[in-house]
Amino acid sequence: MHLIRIFSVIGALGTVATGAALLNQRARARVMSAEIDNLKHRIDEIHTVAVHPQLPELHLTVETTPRADVSVTRTGVAPPVTPPEPAPTPEETEFRVQAALHAQADTYARTFEEEPIDPEWSGWAEGSIQLAAGRATGIRVVSAHCKSSLCKLDYSLDDSANPTSALRDCVQRLPWNSTAFNNVDTQKHVGLAYIAREGFDLPEVAAADAAQR
């Protein structure tokens, strides 16, 4: 009985000793496993920092300058405003009209004096003017001369005749379509007209000639 018990005790002690050793090995294994996991975690952190480094955050500040008003020059002074020209007085208007008429009359007179005579047309045109004036109302031919593209008509008017209507009546009776320039002295009841040949226009007045008036 005693031997069995001692053996049992020894066996129990051996079993206890053996169990303690196993427990010690398992504890060491867990410690080593924890250390290995810790090392793996640190390696992952090092790899993450190496591959994806944390860059410092940048802040960009843009300053804007308001645009200058388009109506202001670079010097900051607004451009001067040119006031509109005042309307001409009735006297100024009449002066300008008379100046334009004189410029036209001078141009037509110069053209008529310088151009050559077309004998095949001039005689027939002069007779046509005489005939048309004889049929018109309030106008009498003083003289009619034609050259190659222009006719000059000096005429007189009846006291009651309208100078514009009288010459228009005469020109409309001509056997060709024409334009005419009429310059009348209403006090003396006489006038001077230049009549263009069909297919021709009255001579153009140069701007310089009109400006000199």
Domain chopping of the chain, boundaries: 95-212
> What is the distance between the alpha carbons of residues 149 and 197, in angstroms, rounded to a whole number?
5
The pLDDT tens digits for 139-185 are: 999 999 999 999 999 999 998 889 889 999 999 999 999 899 999 99
The pLDDT value given to residue 90? 85
Backbone torsion region of residue 76, taken as left when φ is above 0, otherwise alpha when ψ lies between -120 and 50, otherwise beta:
left
The pLDDT tens digits for 37-83 are: 666 666 565 554 444 445 445 444 444 445 544 444 455 566 778 88
Residues 6 or more apart in contact with residue 183 via CB below 8 angstroms: 101, 105, 191, 192, 193
Q: What is the pTM of this model?
A: 0.56
Mean pLDDT across the chain, nearest whole number?
75
The pLDDT value given to residue 16? 37
Closest CA to 110 of 84, 147, 55, 73: 147
pLDDT band at 21 (very low <50, low <70, confident <90, very high): very low
DSSP 160-180: T--HHHHHHHHHHTSSS---E
- DSSP strand E in the chain: where? 139-146, 150-157, 180-185, 190-196
* Domain 95-212, CATH homologous superfamily name and number: General secretion pathway protein M, EpsM (3.30.1360.100)
Helices (H) and strands (E) in the chain, counts: 5, 4
The pLDDT value given to residue 115? 96
> What is the distance between the alpha carbons of residues 10 and 119, in angstroms, rounded to a whole number?
169
Cα–Cα separations (whole angstroms), residue 7 to 2, 12, 16, 20, 211: 8, 8, 14, 19, 151
